[in-house]
Structure 1
Amino acid sequence: MAEHGAHLTSSGVSDASLPSIFEVLAQQSLSATLHPAIGHAVRVFAEKYPERLGVLVRYYDEIYLLFDTLVQSYYLKKHGGSFAENFYDLKRVPSGNVDSSVLSQRLRLRALACLVLIPYIKQKLHSLYEKLLYNMGDSGRRAFLQREASKRQKLKGLYLLCFPYASSAWELLTLIYQLQYMLRHGRWHSPSMHLSGTELRHVSDEDVVENDAVGLFDASWSNMSVRSRLLRLIKLTLNSAAVAMSTSLSVGVFFLQFLEWWYASDSSATSLTALPVPAPPHSEKLKDVPCSCCPLCRRERVNSTALVVSGYVFCYTCINEHVKRHRCCPITGFPATDEQLVKIYEQQL
């Protein structure tokens, strides 16, 4: 049925190798699924081993940026497209020169920047907006109009005011590109694709033949020197490792999509039975520390403050400085931020 629907949009740009809007949206959905799905898997493992894997949660965006850069650069160089595009048998060709099947190094770098940096920057800007909105509230948008506010507060208020409009403008521009592509009045399905200087096309049989691996022992093997043979062995070993990682990633996509669906359905489900409160974790760090003392300074607590992720109570200054410096609970090692500190007002009897 989707194939019949694709023929309804045959006006405008006519090219048999041009992918349909359904294929384009499918590869976009796959690309957008990887980041949260892998992130959930990392959080699951980090909860079991917080002291060892807690750093993966704190710097997940940067670690995923490095991982995504390596994967996408390999696929752009080897297959001429991103991982998600190659998964649906799509490739990139230079804009205005669709007969060329090879991307220059300059176009590969532009495509890599659009594939990796733009989603990373959007994620960071959205996270910053959510953090500022949580700290300043809705009234923070009017901070830049207040004379008594500092320059920093005015900039934060201006960001809170402008970000929703900028985000909506980007989404509207993306929708316009998709509508033009669907009606065959445009060659790009998104602004980032336009910025990359490339277009999407179907993978041809010639591309499959060109991407086949070169045999280890061919006619030139006997004429090679020992150094040339060693270099070829190293190159083929690296290529084999890359192909193995590519295959594993392709197979793992289905598992990650299932994991995301399972996590979404589990988080939205209503619990029918209330689970008992688990016992606090035991630690040798609390040995011989009275309940009324701070586990960090070992003195009587001042301005008692609880850390939400673990439930332990500290002095406010002690835990605030520790969390800002180490980004984790000093007792359990659970990842934590200063937003997860809750002051406790103890009634003096």
Structure 2
Amino acid sequence: FLWRWFDELYVLLDLLLQQHCLARCSASFSENFYSLKRIPAGDRGERPLATAGLPKGQHWKSLLLLVLVPYLKGKLEKLVSSLREEDEYSIHPPSSSWKRFYRAFLAAYPFVNMTWEGWFLIQQLSYILGKAEHHSPMLRLAGVRLVRLTAEDIQALENRSAGDTSSQTPSIQTRVQSAVRKTLGGVAFSLSTGLSVSMFFLQFLDWWYSSENQETIKSLTALPAPPPPVHLDGGAASALLPRLRSLCPLCRKVRVNATALATSGFVFCYRCAYAYVKSHQRCPVTGYATELQHLVKLYSPES
């Protein structure tokens, strides 16, 4: 579930993080890390403190542009990648209106993406040459600009983090808040330590499965060869096989984009095999357990 909805969960957590930083520091998480803050673009007088926050309009624009635009761009890139794969293997019939539509979309996408990236490049060059006050179009759309934190900003942020500790006898609420902060600090430390250990473990797995280590792996994890496929002789499964070898066992037509199943060796149309394996997770002839990664496209000398 977490893997399937990873992008959405990431956006939700990013939304909470950026909302917290914009409300408390008038900056995104990375901008605050580099001692920057956002102020309204037309504000040329006395700059407000970072703890004052942005006006409501600039705040919500900044939040949406920081979180929503990268999410939509990532989703669009995944969609384009998926459509290109489907177009390459001709999953949809050639005459379908849907296929004509997404082929036109795939043809137009590189130009749209080039325009988007060129917009950012021109804005950055203008900023470097002193012709613009924004290095990113997203800041211009949000109606804000970046400035350095002043000593007053840093002092205000430190005071806000420390809270009101002038009272000699802290109240029960203050004690509870202090205990919660200590607990969260311990959890954060545990997570950071676990992350370091996890990175070491991932590096170990990367080494273990590296090409240089394959011979060692084969010697340690050698398994006996699997038995040959069950001989289809007069059973119900053999009735699925057409008499002509050039026909697909599923659609009974001449194969298009011939594709073999690595688990059984039988050859089908790519569209037929893809749809069947995706629905049933097995070979349609032998019944052997099969996944989509077991589809192997065949290329004849004529093609």
How high is the TM-score relative to the length of structure 1? 0.54
Distance of 2:33 and 2:188 partners within structure 1: 10
> 197, 201, 215: which is aligned to 2:147?
201
2:58 counterpart (78, 94, 107): 107
Q: Which structure would you say has the larger Rg?
A: 2
Q: Is contact 2:277–2:292 with CA below 8 Å preserved after alignment?
A: no
Taking structure 1 as reference, are residues 317 and 122 closer, same or farther at Cα in structure 2, changes over 3 Å only?
closer
Structure 2 stretches lacking a partner, 5+ long: 224-228, 231-235, 241-248, 250-259, 264-272, 282-288, 299-303
Once the two structures are superposed, what CA deviation does each residue of 1:209-245 show, in whole Å capped at 9, x if it has no partner?
21122445535978x8xxxx64x66666677777888
Task: Give 5+ residue unaligned stretches, structure 1.
Answer: 1-54, 281-290, 293-298, 308-314, 324-330
State the distance in 2 between where 1:241 and 1:104 align.
Answer: 34
Number of equivalences: 238
> Cα–Cα, structure 1 residues 178 and 66, in superposed 2: closer, same or farther, change >3 Å?
same
**Which residue of 166, 169, 179 maps to 2:125?**
179
| Structure 1 stretch displaced more, 94-103 or 115-124 | 94-103
The residue number in structure 2 matching 1:23 is: none
Match of 1:271 among 180, 186, 211: 211
Tell me the SS of whatever aligns to 1:200.
Answer: strand
2:293 is the alignment partner of 1:340: yes
- AA aligned to 2:88 is G
Any conservation in 1 of the 2:26–2:54 contact (CA below 8 Å)?
yes
In the other structure, the counterpart of 2:166 is 218
Go from structure 1 to structure 2 and tell me whether the alpha carbon gap of 1:58 and 1:123 turns closer, same or farther (over 3 Å shift). same
**CA RMSD after TM alignment:** 4.6
Shift, 1:104, TM fit: 2.1
Query: Contact 1:91–1:202 at 8 Å: present in 2 too?
Result: yes
* C-alpha distance after superposition, 1:66-87 (max 9, x if no partner): 1211111111112211111111
In structure 2, the partner of 1:321 is: 279
Higher relative contact order (CA 8 A, sep 6+): 1
Cα offset, 1:344, TM superposition:
9.8
Question: For residues 154 and 137 of structure 1, what CA distance do their matches in structure 2 show?
Answer: 14
Among candidates 57, 80, 83, match of residue 129 of structure 1: 80
TM-score, structure 2 length as denominator? 0.61
Q: What aligned pairs does 1:1-349 form with structure 2 within 5 A after superposition?
A: 55-97=1-43, 99-101=47-49, 102-137=53-88, 149-212=95-158, 213-215=161-163, 217-219=165-167, 230=173, 271-272=211-212, 274-275=214-215, 276=217, 305=261, 319-321=277-279, 340-342=293-295
Deviation string 1:151-194 (CA, Å, 9 cap, x unpaired) is 32222112101111111111100001101111121111111121
Percent identical residues: 27
